[in-house]
Chains A and B, each alone.
Chain A
Amino acid sequence: MTTTLRMLAAALALFGACAAFAPGPLAAVPVLPQDIEWQTNDTDPVFASPDARRGGTFRSAIMTFPLTFRTVGPDSNSSFRSAILGNQLSLIGLHPNTLNITPELATHWAFDPDKKTMYFRLNPRARWSDGVPVTADDFAFTLEFMRSKHIIAPWYNDYYTREIDRVIVYDDQTLAVVSTKAVPDLHLKLGIAPTPRHFYKALGEDFVRKYNWAVVPNTGPYQISDFRKGKYVMFKRKPDWWGNDLRFFRHRFNVDRVKFTVVRDFNILWEYFKKARIDTFAMNFPQYWHIRSKTPQIENGYIERIWFFNDTQQSAMGLWLNQDREIFQDRRLRYAFAHAMNVEKVIEQVLRGDYFRLENGFVGYGPYSNTEIRARRFDLGKVDEYMRAAGWARGPDGIWARGGKRFSVEVSYSIEEHTPRLVVLKEEAKKAGIELRLQRLDPSAAYKKVMEKKHDVAWMGWSTSLRPQYWEHFHSVNAHKPQTNNITNTDDPELDRLIDAYRNSLEADERIDLSRRIQARVHEIGPFVPTFMVPYVRQAYWRWWRLPTPPGTRVSGDLFSPFDSATGGLFWYDEARREETRQAMRERRPFPPVTRIDETYKMAFLK
């Protein structure tokens, strides 16, 4: 009771303070427009299993202990950040299968005709982990927070200034978020997350140090309950989480505790997993799936495996040709180069057929992907044809040459594990008369070299976003100068026109059409040789962990992700099966080995 009172007093004091700073009685009280149409989503299919039961501890591992629990500011961009942010809900989410908007902290939303503004109505039950209700003001504070110089996060300072114009608070439950400009897919941008004003109060110079290890109130199902620096972090489920009964959160986030232990070595991690000190293990590497899986725990069925195909944006992994190099200025030579890359052989003979040929730089973007494009296949005849047409002839060492110049290019890469793939490509390219000089650089040196456009061919992949981005990679504005993502120096007026149209359009249909045409044009120009994609996840897990049917969503990247608000927390713990397994292990009684292959969401053109 006293606590409540004190909090109330604090809240009042805070409001008082705000009132004191307000510009006075002249300030107009914002009025919600009357003609807006509120929408919600209570019709899309649910994807969690009603069989799921609560309980158990899920033990996972992290390679290094995070340097801070802050999610902004210095050292905050570690992989652990996603565990913290996973419990920080936003106004709205995206349905992983239909990609429609789903409610999170907001129950309803509406679009303004100006294509810059979205209105939200908050869920009155939404609470911070310390019991304080989430109010519209917490979103206004997000803007103040992200724009503050004290958080030492220039990127966020910039983004929340240049992209988000303001947050309008109508009352405690109603707000609007305004973008600085009209953009397509507005909802992807404006569904921001709240920041607890009652926790941070005023920000100061000491922000970075003060909040290094602070457990900030959050709105998601779990909160950090305990940690030892360098050893582990424990998350505990909130006993009566406000979101338990929301349509898309029901039967999810089932385990009581999630413990992340620091295991610094991948081989040791595997040993931990085999001893059941870790519950799941990622098996995307062919080495683990095919060879290391031959252990008694898997062969006796105590550990089960799953190969789950998803349908999500694929990294544009491949060979990026620098068209400012004389040799790649001729389109025929670019085509010849593409036909000299025996990617299929690498897939079959080095990668055990586990990877798939990437057909285009933009696979998995739903309707935005042009699925008719096929990557140029290894074809000595075509190499011959293009090279002869360009006036080249084979030299004494079998490499194409013309006027004292040989078709010999440097391939810069940075991941040691990719060397086996590249040596096979190199040997095959030699047959086609093209010499690849492999140059492995330290990642930052490789990055610098490519960013300064000093490479011949860069072997690399790009991270993905929800919609394909063309301007940074292929627009001539970014060509022929350092520090831009147009690493192929593509400079094509026709492509520029399409990209500009794509960037300026706000209509989804038009953008989809343009997107496909841009991809076709890029394929025609041929500055990029797509190589591999991994449109699936493979995991092993102790058999007392259960998954729904289908085991994941269209975009699931990890079936045992405990937190993520869109796709996480679908699995659950089965105490009875655990007892059964323990008993069987004691009696050395095997179960039939289980390897599930789920193709529910496998990309259509792979089937």
Chain B
Amino acid sequence: MKLNPLTIKKIRRFQSIRRGFYSFILFTILILLSLSAELLINSRALVVRYEGRTYFPTYGRILPGTTFGLDYDYETNYRDLKARFDAEDAGNWVLMPPVPFNPYENDLREGAFPPFPPSAASRHFLGTDIVGRDILARLAYGFRIAIFFSLGLLLINYTIGVSIGCAMGYFGGRFDLFFQRIIEIWSNVPFLYVIIIISSIVVPNFFILILIMAFFGWIGMTWTMRTVTYKEREREYVLAARALGASNLRIIFRHIIPNTVAIIVTFAPFSVSGGIVALTSLDYLGFGLPAPTPSWGELLQQGWTYMDAWWIAASVITAMVVTLITVTFIGEAVREAFDPKLHTVYE
């Protein structure tokens, strides 16, 4: 693929902004890691060698305890299996992931009550929450949900926002006036309350929640796109395209949007962090994804209620700060890379 020299220049420039570039790498790694979370943080073993046969239980259907000569029909407890095989020393073995817990199971003990503090011996590296679930597991799986939530939200918001915004700017006149009023009314709806009301009536799943949030989220982008399009449509290349007989659709999507992509790209990282924060706050208030979905907001809520268990609040706050700072750094770097003026100072 041959890239536009301007694009190459922008990428170079992005790479030269260290803070942003390394944040980008870190962020990408985090996403990749979270995508393979099942291999790193899971109660299912990676590999089980039992009586000459090898099993890979990570993905796919459950293997009941009877598969490995245990006396129960429900899913094998691989941690117990590992302890058992190690004790028997009969050539069978189990390879567990580094964190041998899934985000849903309650690791409860006799005579003690969760939350349990972090301990390398019990393999709860960040401790457990108030019902004995591993915090690291919940953070990792919660991150995956939050990040894909906000990417999905971004996609829908921008598709609607950019299309309507461009149309408003391009057509102008009554169309513009009409949509301006619609948006003014729309943006006066207290959207958090509406979401709370909706989610107290129907329990939203991942996609419904994205849709509900996108219902109100597309507005922000329209104003910017409208202004930019107003500017662009007066440029000569648009006139030229029109003179050549290009349709409105073609002019908007082939000519104007590519020329405004800098604006869109610059806003995107901030929308991602906005999405994460929105989901977290909804979960914190108890109106987000249904329990027991791993969620940062729920952990935050627990951390606030159980201040004595400092590791809950500490873990989730650290995770949030790191993620949001990373995304913000990427955002700043992108903005700078796309800035036609070379020397800009952000304050």
Contact = CB atoms under 8 A, between A and B. Distances in A.
Interface string A438-461: 111110010000000000000000
Contacts of B72: 380, 431
- Dominant SS among interface residues on chain B: loop
A398 B291 contact: no
B265 interface: no
Nearest to A294: B308
Nearest to A287: B306
B253 to A, nearest CB: 42
Interface stretch (B2-10, B14-22, B90-98, B102-110): B102-110
Nearest to B64: A398
B105 A441 contact: no
B201 interface: yes
Nearest to A290: B113
A398 B104 CA distance: 16
Contacts of A416: 286
B114 to A, nearest CB: 8
Interface in B191-215: 200-201, 203
A438 B62 contact: no
Contacts of A291: 308
B61 A397 contact: yes
Interface in B90-137: 104-106, 108, 113, 130-133
A423 B200 contact: no
Of the candidates A349, A350, A430, the one having the most CB atoms from chain B within 10 angstroms of its own CB is A349
A442 B130 contact: no
B73 interface: yes
A384 interface: yes
A268 to B, nearest CB: 14
Contact of B106 (A380, A394, A427, A440): A427
B48 to A, nearest CB: 17
B74 A433 contact: yes
Contact of B291 (A350, A396, A440): A440
A420 B200 contact: no
Interface residues of B, number: 24
B108 A349 contact: yes
A422 B291 contact: yes
Given A420-B130, A427-B104, A427-B105, A398 B286 contact: no
B292 A423 contact: yes
A445 B201 CA distance: 6
A143 interface: no
A350 B74 CA distance: 22
A427 to B, nearest CB: 6
A432 interface: yes
A426 interface: yes
A433 B73 contact: yes
B62 A440 contact: no
Interface string B47-74: 0000000000000011010000000111
A290 B292 CA distance: 26
Interface string A92-113: 0000000000000000000000
B73 A380 contact: yes
Given A380-B73, A398-B64, A420-B131, A438 B200 contact: no
Contacts of B106: 349, 423-424, 427
B66 to A, nearest CB: 10
B128 to A, nearest CB: 12
A137 B128 CA distance: 66
Nearest to A417: B305
B86 interface: no
B305 to A, nearest CB: 9
B62 A396 contact: yes
Contacts of A394: 64, 73
A439 B131 contact: no
Nearest to B287: A442
A181 interface: no
B222 to A, nearest CB: 32
A430 B74 contact: yes
B286 A440 contact: yes
Interface residues of A, number: 31
A440 B73 contact: no
B106, B133, B201, B290 — which one has the most chain A CB atoms within 10 A of its CB? B106
Interface in A377-416: 380, 384, 394, 396-398, 416
Contacts of B132: 349
A352 interface: yes
A424 B74 contact: no
B201 A423 contact: no
Interface in A432-491: 432-433, 437-442, 445
A419 interface: yes
A397 B132 CA distance: 23
A440 B288 CA distance: 10
Contact of B292 (A349, A350, A426, A432): A426
Contacts of B201: 441-442, 445
A290 B308 CA distance: 13
B62 A397 contact: yes
A333 to B, nearest CB: 17
A412 B286 CA distance: 15
Interface string B5-49: 000000000000000000000000000000000000000000000
Contact of A398 (B62, B203, B290): B62
- Closest A-B pairs by Cβ, 4 of them: A442-B200, A396-B61, A431-B74, A349-B108
Given A291-B308, A440-B286, A440-B290, 9 more contacts: A349-B106, A380-B72, A380-B74, A397-B61, A398-B75, A426-B104, A427-B106, A441-B201, A441-B203
Interface of A: 290-291, 345, 349-350, 352, 380, 384, 394, 396-398, 416, 419-420, 422-424, 426-427, 430-433, 437-442, 445
Interface of B: 61-62, 64, 72-75, 104-106, 108, 113, 130-133, 200-201, 203, 286, 290-292, 308
16 contacts: A349-B108, A380-B73, A396-B62, A398-B62, A398-B75, A419-B292, A420-B131, A423-B133, A423-B291, A423-B292, A424-B131, A426-B104, A427-B105, A427-B106, A439-B203, A442-B200
